[in-house]
Structure formats: C-alpha cells, structure tokens
Copies of this chain bind each other. A is one copy, B any other.
C-alpha cells in the first residue's frame, strides 16, 4: 500500500492533479493568488470546480502546491562550482541556464516574482534558509575568485542580484518587451539577449567571454 501525505492518496487521479497544477500555474501567473478564481483554474483544466477542490481542499493549498513545484526547479550548474573552476565558464553557463528558464518557464518566474513583491508571505522558512545558505556559498566562491585575481567586482552579492534581475526580467516583463519590440521574443531573440547579457556581465567583471558563448 502506498503512503499518503495527509489523509488520502492518489492513484489514477495523479494525472488530474498535474493537469490542475499546470492550469493553476498559468492562472496564478496572470492574476496572482487573490486575483485567481478557482473556477478559472477549473475551466482551463476542463474540470468542474468541485473536482479541483477535491484534490487541493483550498485555493491557498493549490497555490502552495504550485509554488513548491516551482521551487523544486531552483537548481543550477553554479550549485557545485568551486573556486578552482573557471569563472567565465561558470557564469556564462549560469546565465544561459537562467535565461533558458525564463524562456521555457515564464509563468514560474512570474509567480515567484509576484510572491516576492507581495513580501513572500507564502515562502516557507525551509526555502528561505536554503536560499540564504546557497547564496552565502556562491558569494564565497566569487570572493575566492576575486582574491585569486580572476575576477573583478565591487561586491559578489550585488553581482548575483544583477544576474538574477536581468534574467528574470525577460520573463517577468515580457509584456513590456513584446510591446517595445513589436513581437514576442522567441528562441532566436533569447539567444541574442543571452549573448548580450553574458558579454555585459563577464566584460563588466573583467572576464573574457568563452568562444562557445560568443
């Protein structure tokens, strides 16, 4: 017999759960937690509202499930980097990954942004702790690079912020960018933006852009 988290368990209905989560992610990204109606999620999933409630009990619950699924994607090549690695390679790769995330999962990025703008009331202490630890570790690596004369920047933490800001901007502010450019950014435009960003950040840190990212 399979274990269950709280009271009930899922068998075939697990597919429905994923269907609902996917629909909810799109709605929450567009309208936020408060602005999203359970009915909208149900309509998008092609199910009656009551069925959504059957699986997730409350709207808050559904939102938390969506959020949790998003935070599970928060891994990157930077996680395991050490000061013996080449900063140009690591940073270029890290930026590429985050840009790829903005291209393929814009709704995830938007939900995270909405959550932070609202003061992160639903981000559990567990995620926050892990995030602090992760950041401290990365800052330490960058500082070692600086000490080794491999990289120049005023502040390692601010550098991380600036990378996050630029990459997330392409997902969160896509509406603005689309309007300014007259069309949506596709794979081609994302590749150009990624190259431009890698060039800016790496050059800004006194690094040479690896040929594979030019």
A-side residues, CB < 8 A to B, are: 29-35, 110, 113-114, 116-120, 128, 131-132, 135, 153-155, 157-159, 161-162, 164-166, 168-170, 172-173, 175-177, 179-181, 192-193, 195-197, 199-206
Q: Which residue of B lies closest to A114 (CB)?
A: B117
| Cβ-defined contact, B196 with A116, below 8 A | no
Residues from chain B with a CB closer than 8 A to the CB of A176 are: 116, 120
Taking a contact as CB atoms closer than 8 A, the residue among B132, B181, B200 that contacts A204 in the complex is B200
CA distance A165 to B168 in the complex (A): 8
Residues from chain B with a CB closer than 8 A to the CB of A30 are: 118-119
Taking a contact as CB atoms closer than 8 A, the residue among B29, B155, B168, B200 that contacts A201 in the complex is B200
Instruction: Give the number of copies in the complex.
Output: 2
Tell me what chain A mostly uses at the interface: helix, strand, loop, or mixed: helix
Residues from chain B with a CB closer than 8 A to the CB of A31 are: 34, 118
| Cβ-defined contact, A113 with B172, below 8 A | yes
Residues from chain B with a CB closer than 8 A to the CB of A116 are: 172-173, 175-176
Q: A31-B34, A179-B132 are contacts. A117–B172 as well, Cβ < 8 Å? A: yes
Residues from chain B with a CB closer than 8 A to the CB of A117 are: 29, 110, 113-114, 172-173, 175
Taking a contact as CB atoms closer than 8 A, the residue among B119, B120, B159, B164 that contacts A169 in the complex is B164
